[in-house]
Chains A and B, each alone.
Chain A
Amino acid sequence: MAQYRTQVRIIADVLSTARDQNTEGTGVGVTTLIRKGNMSYTRMSKLLSELVGSGLLVELNGDKISKYMISEKGIQFLAAYSSFEDFAQSFGLRM
Chain B
Amino acid sequence: MGQIENILQFIGVFVSFSIAYVSYRGVRQTQSSSLLRLATAFVFLGFGFLVEAFAELGQFVPALSLTATAVVVGGLLLETTGYFFLAFSHAVDVVLSKRMGAALLVFPIISISGTQLSNVLSILSFYFVLYGVVETLYSYSRTRKPDTLLIATGLALIGVGTFFQWLSFLYQNVGVLTLLQIILQEMGLLMLFTPVLRFRIGGVKVDGPV
Interface residues of A (CB under 8 A from B): 1-4, 6-8, 11, 50-51, 54, 56, 73, 76-77, 79-81, 83-84, 86-95
Contacts and interface: CB of A to CB of B under 8 A. Distances in A.
A92 B195 CA distance: 12
A87 B136 contact: no
Given A83-B204, A90-B147, A2 B97 contact: yes
Contacts of A8: 30-32, 210
B138 interface: yes
Contacts of A77: 29-30, 206, 210
Interface of B: 22-23, 25-26, 29-35, 37-38, 89-90, 93, 96-99, 132, 135-140, 143, 145, 147-148, 150-152, 192, 194-195, 199-200, 203-208, 210
A84 B26 contact: yes
Contacts of A80: 26, 29-30, 203-206
Contacts of B148: 89-92
A81 B194 CA distance: 19
A76 B206 contact: yes
Say whether chain A's binding surface is mostly helix, strand, loop, or mixed.
helix
A78 to B, nearest CB: 9
B93 A94 contact: yes
A81 B192 CA distance: 20
A89 B147 contact: yes
B147 to A, nearest CB: 4
A22 B139 CA distance: 33
Contact of B151 (A50, A91, A95): A91
A76 B140 contact: no
Contact of B138 (A84, A87, A88, A92): A92
B93 to A, nearest CB: 6
B38 A91 contact: yes
B160 to A, nearest CB: 18
B135 A95 contact: no
A47 B93 CA distance: 24
A94 B34 contact: yes
